[in-house]
Amino acid sequence: MTAGSKGIALVTGAAQGIGRAIALRLASDGFHVAVNDISSKQSLLDDVAQVANDKGSKTLSISADVGDEGQVQGMINNVVNKLGGLDVMIANAGIATFSPMTTSSTNHFDSTFRINVRGTYLCYKYAALQMIEQNRGGRIIGASSVAGKRGFVGLGAYSATKFAIHGLTQTAALELGRHGITVNSYAPGIISTPIWKSVFNPEVPVTMQEYFKEHIKDAPVGYTGQPADVASIVSYLASKEAHFVTGQSFSVDGGMALN
């Protein structure tokens, strides 16, 4: 941990949406922040790093594919070498497409699992190894979803990945607690992000679009959330105050899935 900061955080999938909001919130909280996304989003990612830097955070912008083991290892080594360690890992990167199970392809299924599950597993694993070596504890936080607590029409592959992250998080919490590392996940509902807006692409059936509109109306709060709503939960989970919270999945969904 570098002097004058709360620690060093790495946020994957940080070029836009929830990842961007989390990175900027952690920078405001006093963390030095490394941000990651795929190379095609480098300009967006650099913008996030600049805004975080303007908040007083030491920053690092890293393009890497979280589904590639070597790239994940290299990404974490880069953070450690440039910023001085790793205290908070936010495994936020993920993809989603909307397609009924009977018309979706196995390529779609496999690619969703590669990023959402394999990517989260690799980030958890190599962040944990680094934190254990540092011997100062840490926070590992993953992106689940309301679709990781209940199924939704057209989200078979995505929902399956988010249920998997829920289980992976619980297992990691059990294994890493003795090292002072907590492991939790956040489970957003319908949040105003590029993924949510993609529901209304022309290739998505109108019946499916109407299905999700009805879910917004039926939620207790009756409106769509914002990325900052998720970032506020992550801010707490990354803090020292959350030392006694682990293995949990925190819903940020306006009441779509009641525990």
Please indicate whether residue 158 is annotated as part of the active site. yes
* β-sheet with 138-143: strand ranges across: 59-63, 32-37, 8-11, 88-91, 138-143, 181-188, 249-252
Among the listed residues 82, 162, 236, 240, the single catalytic one is: 162
Looking at residue 221, the DSSP 8-state letter turns out to be S
As a whole number of angstroms, the distance between CA 178 and CA 132 comes to 10
As a whole number of angstroms, the distance between CA 243 and CA 5 comes to 18
* N-terminal to C-terminal alpha carbon distance within the chain: 36
CA-closest candidate to residue 108, choices 40, 146, 158: 158
Among the listed residues 124, 158, 197, 217, the single catalytic one is: 158
The answer to whether 142 and 121 are in contact (CB under 8 A) is no
Please indicate whether residue 223 is annotated as part of the active site. no
* Residues belonging to the active site: 158, 162
